[in-house]
Amino acid sequence: MNDKVALSPEAQAGSHCPPAKYETLYRHSLEDSDGFWRDQARRIDWVREPSVIGNWSFDPVDIKWYEDGVLNLCYNCVDRHLPARADQKALIWEGDEPGVVRSLTYAELHGQVVRMAHCLKAAGVSRGDRVTLYLPMILEAAVAMLACARIGAVHSVVFGGFSPDALRGRIEDCESRFVITADGGMRGGKLVPLKANVDAALEDGPRVDAVLVIRHLGNEVASTGRDIWYDPEAWADAGELPCEPMGAEDPLFILYTSGSTGKPKGVLHTTGGYAVWTAATFHFVFDYREGEIFWCTADVGWVTGHSYIVYGPLANGATTLMYEGVPNHPDFGRFWDMIDRHQVNIFYTAPTAIRALMREGDDPVKAHNRASLRLLGSVGEPINPEAWRWYHQVVGDGRCPIVDTWWQTETGGIMITTLPGAHDMKPGSAGLPFFGVVPELVDAEGVVLPGAASGNLCITRSWPGQMRTVYGDHERFVQTYFSTYKGKYFTGDGCRRDEDGFYWITGRVDDVLNVSGHRLGTAEVESALVSHPLVAEAAVVGYPHDIKGQGIYCYVTLLAGEEPSNGLEQALRQHVRKEIGPIATPDHLQFTPALPKTRSGKIMRRILRKIAHNEHDALGDTSTLADPSLVDSLIEGRRNP
């Protein structure tokens, strides 16, 4: 499957980065890193230009970029565009129901951001305070992020699909005293009771000073003394509110993400490096041209929404589309219908959505003309070559280049990708490193593997968009990312490099699941399961799933005397949904009298993984198990998911 798809001449015409330029810029980015990133920093307007560019070390771990620079990212995304783009649309929003559309020009966005910033200040939010956002995909989500950035508050967006318990944990961890939510949101015709979830999260839990509630649906919700109903009109005459000058290394946001152990980590990104990284990657990777409409289908609750719905596009003065709903509502033609109605030029989505839509056949796609499309993107998980080809041939009519972008919450923005205009494409390969990125493959012992090889993916040098710490736990940051291979950032992904230097991500090598492009720790699902009163022990692994990429396979041991039943299976599914959220719903649950353990009591996940993968013949050595006979009963108990 190493065959290349050549770039069309149309794709190369007018590109920001033809092949020779990629070579030159990539070399420059390594040979003169400071010079290169000084140049790229010109994409940003600084209050004080940085004189120090990169200042970092991976051993000991200390990462700074542009440390003496001063800037405000809201200013860069909004105010500075006003002279040239006041009347250009900054954001277009479409609701869950087709054709329900609102938009904001840059001038209107400025007005809305200033109003919300006034309201936040009046509620007591100051520079450095954490503000938790728990919102549907509405314009106010972007407005709230930018309003926080404007006044120097640190936003922590929590995906609206997370449960009250998950929300509470994230409010507590960053000691956030402010929450911004909405009465409710709509997804696929179903109401998500966001405000009620916030109330549940705060019951007997963290004390917050205020909950700012945005009226979106107008549904009935309970009120409490801490609620402030947001009325933008009330702030219409409040006047300008200048942007807070921020140090480049001042925190911009926290975003929780799952790791292989423990509870989710608060990934902390700072202002200057993140601004430059998102602005530069958006410009080069999407090859953005003046006036184009960009649509990223992610949710702002994930990093993709932060970097490529809000900050990257707006820093470039682009027009970015936000969609409240899901790909199959009211039917499987929804994406393509929206692409036509909004004349979308660049479309960025996840393999799981592509596979789900591919399953419905070509007709729903062909029913729409999609002539506006120029470029397609993929993100979040490995894309299988079959889905890649369908995306290319059917969705893009063979005309549009595909950028398969590999990156992580931790990396802030795109790290490995083909560049449209610069490289031929290989279906299923993310391509080549972005400027300044030096990937390295190592084996389990840390030996560096040169040339064509397969191994664990590390990055050897810092880049401006890199996360700086785990909020409140710098030691965890060091341990998680820099201790497996000393002096290197370890991504947690496995990867193959081919003879052309193209990278093929093979997926996580740690205990992180990627379910429909959503990251989940097996440990989180396990702890949700064992919090059920009848469960003694649980072990969770991923298994290949046609649409979701990975499904969630749970092995459950009940307390002595308890009997498995269909009813209990359903109850456990519900329990996990309630504890974490619908994205964590187990796909497959197997009751077992015991878990396979070594004599020292360690669960042998390798065996559980093999059984879940239906690879019973490849279990490997089982002689170290305390009870080797358990394996047969596990195999027998496996039902097809």
Note the residues at the interface with ligand WTA (CB under 6 A).
257, 302-304, 378-382, 404-409, 430, 491-493, 505, 507-508, 514, 519
Written as one string, the DSSP assignment of 430-491 is -BEEPTT--EEEE-TT--B--SSEEEEEEE-S--TT---EETT-HHHHHHHHHTTTTTSEEE
**Residue 461's closest CA among 65, 21, 25?**
65
Q: Which is nearer to ligand WTA, 95 or 301 (CB)?
A: 301
Q: What is the edge-to-edge ordering of all strands in the sheet holding 293-296? A: 101-105, 89-94, 319-323, 293-296, 346-349, 375-379, 402-405
Contact 550, 522 (CB under 8 A): no
Q: Which is nearer to ligand WTA, 29 or 514 (CB)?
A: 514
382 is in an annotated binding site: yes
Q: Which is nearer to ligand WTA, 493 or 579 (CB)?
A: 493
215 is in an annotated binding site: no
Q: Which is nearer to ligand WTA, 164 or 264 (CB)?
A: 264
Smallest separation, CB 98 to ligand WTA (Å): 28
Q: Helical H runs in 103-229?
A: 106-122, 139-151, 164-173, 194-202
Smallest separation, CB 505 to ligand WTA (Å): 4
Smallest separation, CB 418 to ligand WTA (Å): 11
Q: Which is nearer to ligand WTA, 247 or 264 (CB)?
A: 264
Contact 28, 35 (CB under 8 A): yes
Smallest separation, CB 276 to ligand WTA (Å): 18
Q: Which is nearer to ligand WTA, 93 or 302 (CB)?
A: 302
CA dist., res. 359 & res. 83, Å (int): 47
Smallest separation, CB 266 to ligand WTA (Å): 13
Contact 463, 436 (CB under 8 A): yes
532 is in an annotated binding site: yes
519 is in an annotated binding site: yes
Smallest separation, CB 518 to ligand WTA (Å): 7
Q: Which is nearer to ligand WTA, 476 or 573 (CB)?
A: 476
179 is in an annotated binding site: no
The neighbour count for residue 641, using CB atoms within 10 Å, is 16
Q: Which is nearer to ligand WTA, 182 or 512 (CB)?
A: 512
506 is in an annotated binding site: no
CA dist., res. 369 & res. 364, Å (int): 11
In the numeric block, which tokens belong to residue 401? 């280049």
- Helix then strand then coil, % of the chain, to nearest 5: 35, 25, 40
Smallest separation, CB 378 to ligand WTA (Å): 6
Q: Which is nearer to ligand WTA, 93 or 407 (CB)?
A: 407
The residue with its CB nearest to ligand WTA is 409
| Helix (H) or strand (E) run with residue 495 in it | strand 489-497
Query: How far is residue 272 from each of residues 253, 291, 299, 434, 487, measured CA to CA in Å?
Result: 12, 26, 23, 18, 24
132 is in an annotated binding site: no
3-state secondary structure of 227: strand
Smallest separation, CB 290 to ligand WTA (Å): 26
Q: Which is nearer to ligand WTA, 293 or 495 (CB)?
A: 495
Cα of 605 vs its chain's centroid, Å: 27
CA dist., res. 405 & res. 417, Å (int): 5
Q: Which is nearer to ligand WTA, 44 or 430 (CB)?
A: 430
Smallest separation, CB 458 to ligand WTA (Å): 12
Strand partners, 590: 555
Exposure of 329 by Cβ count < 10 A (0-12 exposed, 13-18 middle, 19+ buried)?
middle
Written as one string, the DSSP assignment of 70-128 is EE-HHHHHTGGGHHHHTTSEEEEEE-SSTT-EEEEEHHHHHHHHHHHHHHHHHTT--TT
541 is in an annotated binding site: no
The neighbour count for residue 229, using CB atoms within 10 Å, is 13
Contact 72, 244 (CB under 8 A): yes
407 is in an annotated binding site: yes
Amino acid at 531: S
Cα of 560 vs its chain's centroid, Å: 41
189 is in an annotated binding site: yes
**Residue 298's closest CA among 276, 326, 259?**
326
Written as one string, the DSSP assignment of 544-556 is EETTTEEEEEEEE
**Residue 496's closest CA among 592, 403, 426, 410?**
426
Question: Distance between terminal CA atoms of the chain?
Answer: 28
Smallest separation, CB 118 to ligand WTA (Å): 33
507 is in an annotated binding site: no
409 is in an annotated binding site: yes
Q: Which is nearer to ligand WTA, 111 or 507 (CB)?
A: 507
Smallest separation, CB 341 to ligand WTA (Å): 27
Cα of 27 vs its chain's centroid, Å: 29
596 is in an annotated binding site: no
48 is in an annotated binding site: no
577 is in an annotated binding site: yes
Contact 85, 317 (CB under 8 A): yes
Smallest separation, CB 253 to ligand WTA (Å): 14
Q: Which is nearer to ligand WTA, 219 or 408 (CB)?
A: 408
474 is in an annotated binding site: no
Smallest separation, CB 94 to ligand WTA (Å): 23
* Annotated binding-site members for Mg(2+): 530, 532, 535
Binding residues for ATP: 380-382, 404-409, 493, 508, 519
Which residue ranges make up the annotated binding site for CoA? 187-190, 304, 328, 516, 577
Q: Binding site: residue ranges?
A: 187-190, 304, 328, 380-382, 404-409, 493, 508, 516, 519, 530, 532, 535, 577
